[in-house]
């Protein structure tokens, strides 16, 4: 190959990677366009045999590609071939990216830093646009904190991108001795901003991942560092961080179950002289007040329908019965459920109820305390036999229960690549789930999804493919280890590989970070 052609193909490859890392957080179009540049660079360089040899000599890449091949094999016993082929197309990045990246010459340190810098910039742009929506600079109807993301990117996926950006800033750029103090200071400020953003958008998944990353690094320092002061600080923080979180959550749980002492008189009537309904055996509470007491539904309906365009027998913007949302909201204020209470609501409170806000304390966007309280309520409601529909955490528990049921039907081979959806639908019927049909989804747990599709052997191979690089852990870059932690943790609550952006995210950074390893080097960047 002539030097000019090699330069052009290298340019195509770097352009493709740049478009890919830039597009992941902000543009599905750029993410798709980048694939053409990457595939083009692979074939235009020529010498396919040599590139294939590079790929096959990279055992980690070969084993990782096996994840896609597992889905290909699963086609053999699927009944819905069209769904199976669609799944293979969605997960194509798990095949193409490892082959292209491992088959191409390793990026130089400068090139790698440039690529990751572009990714950090794209994530930063995504956070700024989200905050612009939240503050009203960019006008958009917001019914949920998730609505602030103007790009068609999952809020959970974006939280994972943000975690990778933090790892890049702190453990790649921040620890480089050759960088100026100013550059390191800017990197630290960006990392703090990204962490604060996860709090603002109430991303429990992102924050849990970030906490686990932090504790993991501290444990590493405790075990490896020769500095006694660093060891002490690491140990104190390892104990303090989980303890602080435990105390905080325990306090919220205590407040949730700290019931107000109401004097209930079943003979009381509304101001209009109408009787109340009392369901004293009901054990649901909002802010300590019992929910299903002092109910006058006829008055609620009349008053609400006068104040809102959404009929009381309809659904709120979160697709939940608005009657239930209204009753919970009034209860959270310590009010009786009658016309006088509805007429006393402010315009903003009416809009909050229409948006699906069930508690007066949940009105404020970007309030992590409210998000945790909502999770506590969801779990409590589910344990009491309530409807989990529309509640993310409670729904996941039902998803997992259904997934376990599907796995039990075919533990050895699974149901095949394309049959997850119909099998889950059947399982929901068998278990008499309270979930309405619109919320009956797949597992939202990648490990359970793999086991359901390909059986326990398939799950074991999947875990083997992810953990295989750890056989030479000392030669791995810190950023790869941290990315692996992000993947392993996030897959507990998300079926990350079931969307193309998710498959691209994992396929790209898994191989890209692994390829930056230094043979025979222990990678000291965490010290």
**Segment 405-463, tens digit of pLDDT:** 999 999 999 999 999 999 999 999 999 888 888 788 889 999 999 999 999 999 999 99
User: Could you tell me if residue 38 is inside a domain?
Assistant: yes
Q: Into how many domains does the chain fold?
A: 2
User: Could you tell me if residue 331 is inside a domain?
Assistant: yes
What is the CB neighbour count within 10 angstroms for residue 120? Answer: 25
284 and 322 Cβ atoms separated by less than 8 Å: no
Tell me the average pLDDT across 364-377.
78
Residue among 171, 219, 205, 177 at smallest CA distance from 191: 171
Residue among 136, 132, 249, 243 at smallest CA distance from 197: 132
State which residues form the domain around 302: 285-362
How buried is residue 130: exposed, middle or buried, by Cβ count under 10 Å (0-12/13-18/19+)?
buried
Tell me the average pLDDT across 351-380.
82
Tell me the average pLDDT across 465-470.
96
User: Could you tell me if residue 40 is inside a domain?
Assistant: yes
What does pTM read for this prediction? Answer: 0.86
* Per-residue pLDDT, 525: 39
Q: Which of 347, 362, 377 is at the close of a domain?
A: 362
Range of lowest pLDDT (227-231, 253-257, 259-263):
259-263
User: Could you tell me if residue 121 is inside a domain?
Assistant: no
Give 197's contacts (C-beta < 8 A, 6+ positions apart).
127, 130, 131, 162
Phi-psi region of 358 (alpha: psi -120 to 50; beta: other; left: phi over 0): alpha
Q: How far is CA 101 from the centre of its chain?
A: 26
Alpha carbon distance, N-terminus to C-terminus of the chain:
42
pLDDT tops 80 at residue 367: no
pLDDT tops 80 at residue 111: yes
Q: Which of 362, 377, 396 is at the close of a domain?
A: 362
Q: CA triplet 231, 232, 234: central angle to 5 degrees?
A: 65
Task: Copy the structure tokens of residue 116.
Answer: 């990751």
For residue 475, what is the DSSP state?
Answer: G
Q: Which of 335, 362, 389 is at the close of a domain?
A: 362
User: Could you tell me if residue 322 is inside a domain?
Assistant: yes
Q: How long a stretch of residues is the chain? A: 527
User: Could you tell me if residue 335 is inside a domain?
Assistant: yes
């Amino acid at each position: 190959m002539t030097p000019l052609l090699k330069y052009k193909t290298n340019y195509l490859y770097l352009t493709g990677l740049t478009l890919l890392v830039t597009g992941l957080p902000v543009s599905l179009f750029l993410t798709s366009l980048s694939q053409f540049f990457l595939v083009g660079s692979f074939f235009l360089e020529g010498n396919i045999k040599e590139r294939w040899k590079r790929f096959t000599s990279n055992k980690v890449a070969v084993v990782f590609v096996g994840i896609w091949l597992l889905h290909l094999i699963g086609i053999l016993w699927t009944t819905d071939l069209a769904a199976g082929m669609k799944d293979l197309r969605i997960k194509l990045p798990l095949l193409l990216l490892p082959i292209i990246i491992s088959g191409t010459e390793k990026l130089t340190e400068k090139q790698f830093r440039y690529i990751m810098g572009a990714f950090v910039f794209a994530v930063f742009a995504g956070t700024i646009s989200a905050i612009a929506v939240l503050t009203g600079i960019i006008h958009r109807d917001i019914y949920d904190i998730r609505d602030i993301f103007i790009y068609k990117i999952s809020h959970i996926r974006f939280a994972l991108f943000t975690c990778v950006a933090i790892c890049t800033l702190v453990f790649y750029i921040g620890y480089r001795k050759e960088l100026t103090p100013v550059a390191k200071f800017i990197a630290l400020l960006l990392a703090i901003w990204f962490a604060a953003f996860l709090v603002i958008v109430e991303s429990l998944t992102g924050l849990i991942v970030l906490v686990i990353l932090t504790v993991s690094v501290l444990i590493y320092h405790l075990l490896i560092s020769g500095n006694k002061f660093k060891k002490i600080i690491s140990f104190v923080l390892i104990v303090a961080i989980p303890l602080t979180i435990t105390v905080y959550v325990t306090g919220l749980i205590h407040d949730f179950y700290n019931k107000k002492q109401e004097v209930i008189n079943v003979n009381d009537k509304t101001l209009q002289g109408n009787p109340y309904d009392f369901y004293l055996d009901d054990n649901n509470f909002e802010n300590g007040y019992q929910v299903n007491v002092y109910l006058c539904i006829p008055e609620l309906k009349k008053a609400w329908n006068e104040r809102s365009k959404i009929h009381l027998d309809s659904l709120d913007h979160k697709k939940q019965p608005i009657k239930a949302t209204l009753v919970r909201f009034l209860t959270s204020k310590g009010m009786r459920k009658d016309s006088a209470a509805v007429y006393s609501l402010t315009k903003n409170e009416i809009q909050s109820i229409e948006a699906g806000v069930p508690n007066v304390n949940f009105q404020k966007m970007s309030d992590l305390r409210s998000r945790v309280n909502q999770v506590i309520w969801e779990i409590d409601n589910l344990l009491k036999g309530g409807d989990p529909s529309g509640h993310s955490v409670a729904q996941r528990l039902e998803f997992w229960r259904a997934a376990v049921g599907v796995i039990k039907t075919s533990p050895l081979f699974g149901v095949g690549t394309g049959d997850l959806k119909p099998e889950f639908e059947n399982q929901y019927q068998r278990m008499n789930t309270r979930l309405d049909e619109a919320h009956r989804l797949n597992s939202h747990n990648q490990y359970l999804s793999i086991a359901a599709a390909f059986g326990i052997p398939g799950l074991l191979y999947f875990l083997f493919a992810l953990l295989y690089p750890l056989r030479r852990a000392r030669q791995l870059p810190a950023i790869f280890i941290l990315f692996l932690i992000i993947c392993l943790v996030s897959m507990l609550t998300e079926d990350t590989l079931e969307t193309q952006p998710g498959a691209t995210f994992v396929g790209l950074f898994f191989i890209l970070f692994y390829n930056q390893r230094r043979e025979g080097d222990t990678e000291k960047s965490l010290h």
